[in-house]
Chains A and B, each alone.
Chain A
Amino acid sequence: MKIRAVALNTFREAIRDRILYLLIFFAAIGIIFSRFLALLTVGDRVKIIKDVGLASISLFGMLIAILIGTGLVYKEIDKKTIFTLMAKPIHRYQFLLGKYLGLLLTLLVIIILMSLIFLFLIFGHTLTIEWNLLVAILFIFLELCVLTAVAILFSCFTTPILSSLYSLAFYLIGHLSWGMETIIKKTKPGLGRTLLRILYIILPDLENFNFKTEVVHNLPIPGEIYLQSFLYGLFYSLFLLVLAMIIFQRRDFV
């Protein structure tokens, strides 16, 4: 009940934030732009629309998660609204979880909105609703769950600007870390290789959620890969949230 109240309040805060509408506007432009890009392409135009459309959903989802997520907790501390809240019968972890779920709800609504525009655009070309695209979108949402947890974690102890930079770094590392597998393979066995392997385990691998190419090109994906990616997203988000809760539980709000 209390987590729900904080989550709904966070949702209300986000949908009354002007920055959200700016991002939604650009996201819609991005998706529609794919239609014009397709006109300039030789070959399968629908594939271009799918590629650019999915990339837009992913990019703007990431921007919303980071730009709004990094301010959520910080703003409560900076504007001192947390003072009145902490005097109410609510645990600190309930507050943090409410904030997290509130932003996820916001992202879910936006992703659904963007997906509708996207599917409608594809429908205009193929006259079929391509439900398989929703698989890619579902995993984009799972990636956003991890990113929101990161943004909230940083938001617990630093300013929105730094949190945004750190979260962006996390996003970039997350999409490049798969390259470490090759480095590990080429490193001689020993301490260096062990350290690299540990680093690879700690660093996020957000490519686990990237099924865009497979879905656009209708490539087969074994079920266990989906399950593995789903569990990875779930546990990574949980790990980040628990870390955020520990930091938030201990800090003084001055």
Chain B
Amino acid sequence: MEHVLEVKNLHKSFKTGFIPQKKKVLQGITFQVSEGEIFGYLGPNGAGKTTTLKCILGIIYPEEGEIRLFGLPHTSLEAKKKIGFLPENPYFYEYLTASEFLRFYGQLFGLSPAQREKKISALLQLVGLTHASDIQLRKFSRGMLQRIGLAQALINEPSLVFLDEPLGGLDPLGRKEMRDIILRLREEGKTVFLCSHILQDIEMICDRVAIIVKGRIIDQGKLQDLVSEKILFYEAVISGLPASLVKDLGECMAAEGGRLLLKVEGEEKIKDLMKVVLEQGGNLHSLTPRTATLEDLFVDLVRQG
């Protein structure tokens, strides 16, 4: 599969403080994004996600390293014609109405008036803002701004869409709709670069992820390769037995209303537990295998990093 984005050895630092001191924000970032995938760029707050994105989009200049979009230098207008970008917080021209706003961006891509108008009405419909087309953006709620932001990111039918925290500020329904739109983009053959610190978003929709901590990528790959499907332990809920009887079989994590929640490791111990429950006349209410989640991996890596 062809790479639509290649980032090699990216370095960036900022000067901060009264007596300016260099703070390294990116320290040798390298990754590739393949055509047609949803790539999750994951990291805690302040890890360097948005800085990486700003470098890719030419908003700031990297000190070192190379960025190529569709095989072209990232600052070339040819490359920028094929990308869309939704920033983290929706910063837009508040004095424009929704349709004026989209018209302005359409003009920057050189769309003809007929193409523009057709596209504007389709996009407003896609993001559910047809009713608000003549309302100034200053009167928009945060969720509406996020939607109009997505619409402007898609005005040029981009092949690669950069979304910075796209689900932030949305209500549960809005989040679901945004996820559906992102998945639809993939179905249409577009590549999506998704920056987020919300793990559920990434886990639900991304094909591959890179995890950035303190300006370095500490792990990257396919989600299923990173998050092993191996069962770590079982959670068993039993009742009718005293805790002392099962204390050797598993760690008692909670006890409430005569029920015990046990953390049982290994299949042998499960067999033993079932035997005890049957012999002593207890009840087994549930037995849940727990596999590693992206959250487990993320927490481990951030702690190590």
Which residues from chain A sit less than 8 Å from chain B, CB to CB? 1-2, 4-5, 9, 12-13, 16-17, 79-91, 250, 252-254
Report yes or no: B108 in contact with A2, Cβ–Cβ below 8 A: yes
Determine the residue in chain B with the shortest Cβ distance to A88: B108
- A5-B108 CB under 8 A given contacts A12-B100, A84-B87, A87-B80: yes
Stretch at the interface among B51-59, B206-214, B252-260, B279-287: B51-59
A sample of 7 cross-chain residue pairs with beta-carbon separation below 8 angstroms, ordered by A number, consists of A5-B107, A12-B96, A83-B91, A87-B83, A88-B109, A89-B80, A254-B60
The answer to whether the Cβ of B14 comes within 8 Å of any Cβ in the partner chain is yes
Report yes or no: A5 in contact with B60, Cβ–Cβ below 8 A: no
Complex Cα gap A83–B152 (Å):
13
Complex Cα gap A254–B152 (Å):
21
Residues of B with C-beta under 8 A to A87: 57-59, 80, 83-85, 162
Residues of A with C-beta under 8 A to B105: 84, 88
Determine the residue in chain A with the shortest Cβ distance to B108: A88
User: CB within 8 A of A80: which of B80, B87, B95, B107?
Assistant: B87
- A9-B59 CB under 8 A given contacts A83-B54, A83-B87: no
Complex Cα gap A85–B95 (Å):
16
Report yes or no: A84 in contact with B91, Cβ–Cβ below 8 A: yes
- Greatest chain B CB density within 10 A among A83, A86, A250 is at A83
Report yes or no: B93 in contact with A13, Cβ–Cβ below 8 A: yes
Residues of B with C-beta under 8 A to A2: 107-108, 110
Shortest CB distance A17–B (Å):
8
Complex Cα gap A253–B57 (Å):
11
Complex Cα gap A13–B110 (Å):
21
Report yes or no: A1 in contact with B110, Cβ–Cβ below 8 A: yes
Report yes or no: B95 in contact with A82, Cβ–Cβ below 8 A: no
Residues of A with C-beta under 8 A to B95: 12-13, 16-17
Complex Cα gap A83–B84 (Å):
12
User: CB within 8 A of A254: which of B14, B93, B107, B149?
Assistant: B14
Other A-B pairs beyond A12-B95, A16-B95, A85-B108, 8, CB < 8 Å: A1-B107, A12-B100, A13-B93, A80-B89, A84-B85, A84-B91, A252-B61, A253-B54
Shortest CB distance B228–A (Å):
37
- Greatest chain A CB density within 10 A among B14, B78, B100, B105 is at B105
Residues of A with C-beta under 8 A to B58: 86-87
Complex Cα gap A144–B84 (Å):
37
Complex Cα gap A4–B104 (Å):
10
Report yes or no: B81 in contact with A79, Cβ–Cβ below 8 A: no
